[in-house]
Structure 1
Amino acid sequence: MIGPSGSGKSTLFKLLAGLYPEYGGTISAGTVKLNNQEVSTLVPFERARHIALLFQNPTRQFAMRTVEEQMTFALENLQLTPQRIAELVAATLKQLGLESFRRRQLLELSGGEQQRIALATILAMGSDIILLDEPFANVDQAGRKTLLADLKAMQIQESKSIFITDHDLTGYRQLVDHLYEVNTDQKNIHEISRQRLDLTAAETPVQNRMNKVSIFGWHDLSFQAGSRTLLKPHSFKLPEGQVGLLSGANGAGKSTLFSALSHQLNYHGQVLYKNKKSEKMRIKKWARIVGVVFQNSTDQFIKLEAQDEIALSQQNSLQPYYWTERRITAAINQLNLAEVLNHVSYQLSGGQQKKLQVLSMLIMSQPILLFDEPLAGLDAVSLKNVMQLIKKTVTDLKISSLLISHQRVGVTEFVDYELKLADKSLTIEGEVKEHNGQA
């Protein structure tokens, strides 16, 4: 199922899963029935035997500490025997190539890894109908391809009905049987030709035109996650006024790098700002130099309503003469947020939350901005608008920025260079053409 951010795809899935109207919203007409019984009237464990829903944000489905504990807990709620639960956990992890994650702590996993575990939990439940809301938003391309193949095999071999919402249409052409679109003008859903999947745009190669000017970087930086070394000693200067893409597989350490640079994680080596060591700088002062757009939007929100979130950023902006009322209003309209300003931030769609989060951090305008998956859950138009806004702000204010994204189509054309984190090393991808730093 496709449709613009905020069109109601996630809401529809929650209705189909029986979560609404009990936990939000109202049904103005009609009913959702399973075997001639209203879904919302079924007791939760009985409902889950037939319908399983994967939330857009996987952490909202986690209640336990480790992967094994989480999967076991979910299956216990189906009132299965301990022996059957152990068999299902082992079989599902093996099927999805996740056996090594069995005893890993959920909070130590990357966003993409968490998404894969949440999906594994849903699949282990064995429901007849599976609803997946943006299941690959933070998953690398290799993982996405594998999971899609696994889902197709499950649909054919086990007669599952699988519904997926996704803004990235890559890889679906030979897999889907039906394609539906949400029409926001007519407020309805209709089936469209699968030929739409043939119109997926091609990826634009990264030009790698790096600026020589830099005020931020690191020297012999290395760090670990638990006992695992994620980066061996590495030195780099982040170009000023440019957007860099940080790529790499799930679990490679991209988000951990951001945590190190923002002083939220212990590391070895030095992080430098204006040729001075930052390690002795107070965290409050450092937060006004290095801003991080978190992977989970709701972790960033402070105020209840969207308009108050923007107003707070405006009050604390480091570039108040740039972020005038007129510019902020234009950005709000560009991101199609005008109609949700008085809505509760936590009740917005995933895509709307991302746009609000990115705008709030751009208004803050720290000289260093690190974007951790800022495009997850965005439709093509929203993605383009967000990237245009990021690019213009970074260029105008000479901000040094680095962006993590597994979505490449529609992104790489706005990127000035690419860093890849793999095998505990950071490398510059492609041929580098030096840029003189002029906007």
Structure 2
Amino acid sequence: MVRLAVSNLTFSYGASRSPIFDRLNFDLVQGSFNLLIGPSGSGKSTLFKLLAGLYPEYGGIITTGTIQLNNQEVSTLVPYERARHIALLFQNPSRQFAMRTVEEQLTFALENLQLAPQSIPEVVTATLRRFNLESFRQQQLLALSGGEQQRIALATTIAMGSDIILLDEPFANVDQAGRQKLLTILKELQVKYGKTIFICDHDLTGYQQLVDHLYEVDAAHKKVPEISLQRLTTVKKELPVQNRLDKISIFNWQKLSFKSSSRVLLKPHSFQLPKSQVGLLSGANGSGKSTLFAALSHQLKYQGAVYYKSKASERIRLKRWAQIVGVVFQNSTDQFIKLEARAEINLSRQNSLHPLYWTDARITAAIKQLQLTNILDHVNYQLSGGQQKKLQVLSMLIMAQPILLFDEPLAGLDAISLKNVMQLIKKTVTDLEISSLLISHQRAGVTELVDYELLLANQTLTLEEAK
């Protein structure tokens, strides 16, 4: 019997900062399947780090209360002993990788639990088989797609055999088929092996028949009450993409193809990216979506030709090309240059290609729309994942390159934030006649605001027909 309980807890990120939680009482039911929801920045990731014992050791201050595992303060347990009982998957999976290959990472995680060396290879093989990852054993982690990295990170977390498994946005970059398979595995771990599953997710798809307890962070009252499971039965109807292609284009590729190592990801393909429109680029994890963006932004070698205003991109200097093609990276923190949010936005304003459009008044309105007003003086790397995404997207929209490529800009966003981000992208792209493509595995709230969809599958790009 493993009990994890929070009693009368008050936690803040600094002595002068208001508390994230105030006299919080929270008790996970042993052997249950739990889901945590709430707006971006409300404290969901903070709660998970507290439960895992990372806070206050690595950040913040507890002024009252305790977090106990079987009546022992979590923070007093040595790391390997704590990990045997509580495993945490971070929102950004790459932050948990310490080794080069998938096999090395799994082995490293198990070694840190001080398992018998002779048993580790068997556990590694069984884990790879359970998650259908055998073909990834020797692959380099940093060469994998974001969704593949999430699958590896989740498999590593579960391989540790912990009693309580905390998963912070574990499916943000995973395609829908992969998401359902992983949820099935997690339910099996709960039912057959008595594991306690606690997931933080903004996408409620697929949880209706799985969840025992649904919690929502009440940021206003700094509590985490259990709420009705009825919330999970409300599923928004997905509207089809419009598939209305504007014929006006200043950016195109001809017979474009590329590989990842020796594997062909795209066979020769030609397309004109229309102006003033948002296109959705879809496809399974590992199909080559992010690699396409890397090719178009000249971060990767390719075959064929890319043209801007009828001029071959190879004839344009790389520094100038970066002013033409902007990429919103999958990992927000890779894009930040300044330490604080206000400075990040100001830097984009100073370098904007459309300073007359991005006036102080328009920027202030966008900050308010994205609910970033209260975090402008906060450190970028201490923001929630959702806040980082919104800051990143706004900064790149202010830069306003004529071609904008958005790689999973909506991952980890709650429904309201997703809507606000999509509306801001749509308006900016239309007003400034930008050509844009957006990668997203989240479809609800997205397809109704994009103009067309390109599907990357079987090494081919296809313009999808509206359903």
Which residue is equivalent to 1:312? 347
Report how far residue 381 of structure 1 moved. Answer: 0.2
Report how far residue 337 of structure 1 moved. Answer: 0.2
Which residue is equivalent to 1:173? 208
Asked whether the equivalents of residues 326 and 404 of structure 2 are also in contact (C-alpha less than 8 Å), the reply is yes
Structure 2 residues without counterparts, runs of 5 or longer = 1-35
**1:391 matches 2:391:** no
Task: Decide which of 206, 209, 221 is 2:256's aligned counterpart.
Answer: 221
CA deviations on 1:198-246 (whole Å, 9 max, x unpaired) are 1121211111011010000100000000011000000000010000000
**1:92 matches 2:127:** yes
Q: Which amino acid is 1:418 matched to?
A: E
Instruction: Report the count of equivalent residues.
Output: 432
Residues 288-299 of structure 1 mapped to structure 2, 5 A cutoff: 288-299=323-334
Provide the identity percentage: 76
Residues 144-223 of structure 1 mapped to structure 2, 5 A cutoff: 144-223=179-258
Counterparts of 2:229 and 2:193, CA distance in 1: 24
Which residue is equivalent to 1:263? 298
SS in 1 for 2:65: coil
Asked whether the equivalents of residues 306 and 312 of structure 2 are also in contact (C-alpha less than 8 Å), the reply is yes
Report how far residue 431 of structure 1 moved. Answer: 5.0
Counterparts of 1:431 and 1:393, CA distance in 2: 24
Counterparts of 1:191 and 1:283, CA distance in 2: 53
Report how far residue 83 of structure 1 moved. Answer: 2.0
Report how far residue 179 of structure 1 moved. Answer: 0.3
Report how far residue 90 of structure 1 moved. Answer: 0.5
Which residue is equivalent to 2:84? 49
Which residue is equivalent to 2:161? 126
Which residue is equivalent to 2:110? 75
Residues 400-411 of structure 1 mapped to structure 2, 5 A cutoff: 400-411=435-446
Counterparts of 1:285 and 1:327, CA distance in 2: 27
**1:30 matches 2:54:** no
Q: Which amino acid is 2:347 matched to?
A: L
Asked whether the equivalents of residues 106 and 124 of structure 2 are also in contact (C-alpha less than 8 Å), the reply is yes
CA deviations on 1:104-158 (whole Å, 9 max, x unpaired) are 1001100000000000000100000000000000000000000001100111111
Report how far residue 81 of structure 1 moved. Answer: 1.6
Q: Which amino acid is 2:191 matched to?
A: I
Which residue is equivalent to 2:18? none
| TM-score scaled by length of structure 1 | 0.98
Q: Which amino acid is 1:422 matched to?
A: A
Q: Which amino acid is 1:360 matched to?
A: S
Backbone CA RMSD of aligned residues: 0.8
Which residue is equivalent to 2:12? none
**1:344 matches 2:345:** no
| TM-score scaled by length of structure 2 | 0.92
Structure 1 residues without counterparts, runs of 5 or longer = 433-439
Q: Which amino acid is 2:101 matched to?
A: T
Which residue is equivalent to 1:330? 365
Report how far residue 378 of structure 1 moved. Answer: 0.3
Counterparts of 1:153 and 1:141, CA distance in 2: 19
Counterparts of 1:105 and 1:393, CA distance in 2: 37
Counterparts of 2:170 and 2:395, CA distance in 1: 26
**Larger deviation, residues 133-142 vs 27-36:** 27-36
**1:365 matches 2:400:** yes
Which residue is equivalent to 2:17? none
Q: Which amino acid is 1:378 matched to?
A: L
Which residue is equivalent to 1:10? 45
Asked whether the equivalents of residues 240 and 466 of structure 2 are also in contact (C-alpha less than 8 Å), the reply is no
Report how far residue 333 of structure 1 moved. Answer: 0.2
CA deviations on 1:332-379 (whole Å, 9 max, x unpaired) are 000000000000001000000000000000000000000000000100
